[in-house]
Amino acid sequence: MKLVDTHAHLTDGRFRDDLDAVVQRADEAGVGTIITLAAALEECEAVLKLAERFPSVCAAVGVHPHAAGVSPADVTDALAEFAKHPKVVAIGEAGMDYHYLPGRMQQRPDLDAPTKAGQRRVFTQQLELAARLDKPIVIHLRECAADLLELVAPYRGRLRGVFHCFSEDSDVARRVVEMGFHISFSGMLTFKKNETLREVAAQLPPERVMVETDCPYMSPEPHRSKRCEPSFVVHTAAALATARGVPVETVARQTTENAARLFQLPC
């Protein structure tokens, strides 16, 4: 059984001491490809070095919404240069996230406008870059579905990509699929409380579904107390198979084919 971990953060410091062993365990678990993503411009060089170091690792370069406020006014040129690397398969992690807005934290919504504007600016730049380079985009969406989908909608038909670590409802999932995007599930799918998310996963077209770890975050059951790593994606695949009522081998084949097609995987 072969799998692709479509979203990992192998440059995180929690992998500093045992990254070789982490990648080896992934290989032994059947994870043939790991896509490691940058969350800021200063991280892009590091993900490229990992992609060069490990044959099974590919890279994506982008600016996470949490880094939008400390990024240059225009991130396009820098990302375009990084994206020339032959093992860069996507732009991202890009998107929007309203969970930690300063106004929400201080109960002062009047403080949120600059943060939202910065996230929109950097996300739109990456949407445009991905479309221009004909590369898929990896989208981070948290508590801002209406605003984010409004920005993505004009790119329907000329941009492909995936909404990673999906946690939204069936209506958002339907709109994402209608726009031609994929949906990727993390270890959240295994959490006992997330029955509604499993219902969403059960309804999706098989050609639009992928799996990921989002490691070192989102450790699946039965590893909730541990650092997440790419080998754990087998548990998410198993949960997805149970939700969809199919053998795990079917999910592995479908999600691997979907990832290979979307990312045009060279590794």
Task: Give φ, ψ of 127 to 5 degrees.
Answer: -60, -45
Task: Supply the pLDDT for residue 149.
Answer: 98
Find out whether 40 and 64 touch, Cβ atoms under 8 Å: yes
Of 62, 13, 57, nearest in space to 161 by CA: 62
Find out whether 89 and 35 touch, Cβ atoms under 8 Å: yes
d(CA 195, CA 110): 35
Q: Check: pTM over 0.85? Answer yes or no.
A: yes
> Long-range contact list for 80-84, CB < 8 A, 24+ apart?
80/129, 80/133, 82/38, 82/44, 82/45, 82/48, 83/129, 83/133, 83/135
Secondary structure of 159-221 as H, E, C letters = CCEEECCCCCCHHHHHHHHHCCCEEEECHHHHCCCCHHHHHHHHHCCHHHEEECCCECCCCCC
241 CB contacts (<8 Å, ≥6 apart)? 247, 248, 250, 251
Domain ranges, ordered by start, for the chain = 3-263
For residue 205, say if its preceding peptide bond is cis, omega within 30 degrees of 0. no
- Which residue's entry shows tokens 């799998």? 3
Strand (E) or helix (H) holding 27: helix 19-28
Task: Supply the pLDDT for residue 103.
Answer: 76
Task: Supply the pLDDT for residue 106.
Answer: 77
Task: Supply the pLDDT for residue 266.
Answer: 65
Find out whether 168 and 139 touch, Cβ atoms under 8 Å: no
Tens of pLDDT along the chain (267 residues) come to: 999 999 999 999 999 999 999 999 999 999 999 999 999 999 999 999 999 999 999 999 999 999 999 999 999 999 999 999 999 999 999 999 999 998 777 778 778 999 999 999 999 999 999 999 999 999 999 999 999 999 999 999 999 999 999 999 999 999 999 999 999 999 999 999 999 999 999 999 999 999 999 999 999 999 999 999 999 999 999 999 999 999 999 999 999 999 999 999 964
Q: Determine whether domain 3-263 maps to CATH 3.40.190.170.
A: no
